[in-house]
Amino acid sequence: KQEVTQIPAALSVPEGENLVLNCSFTDSAIYNLQWFRQDPGKGLTSLLLIQSSQREQTSGRLNASLDKSSGRSTLYIAASQPGDSATYLCAALYSNYQLIWGAGTKLIIKP
Count CB neighbours of 6 within 10 A. 21
* CB nearer other proteins, residue 80 or residue 102: 102
Smallest separation, CB 43 to other proteins (Å): 4
Which residue in 77, 102, 107, 109 binds other proteins (CB under 8 A)? 102
Question: Across-strand partners of 22?
Answer: 7, 74
User: Nearer to other proteins by C-beta: 15 or 106?
Assistant: 106
* Residue 87 binds other proteins, judged by CB under 8 A: no
Q: How far apart are CA 65 and CA 54, in angstroms?
A: 8
Binder among 11, 13, 19, 44 for other proteins (CB under 8 A): 44
Distance CA 21, CA 33 (A): 14
Does 62 interact with other proteins (rule: CB under 8 A)?
no
End-to-end CA distance of the chain: 41
Q: How far apart are CA 66 and CA 50, in angstroms?
A: 7
Nearest CB to other proteins, comparing residues 15 and 71: 71
Q: Are 86 and 64 in contact (CB under 8 A)?
A: no
Nearer to other proteins among residue 35 and residue 84 (C-beta):
35
Q: Which residues bind other proteins (CB under 8 A)?
A: 4, 31-32, 34, 36, 41-46, 49, 51, 89, 91, 93, 96-104
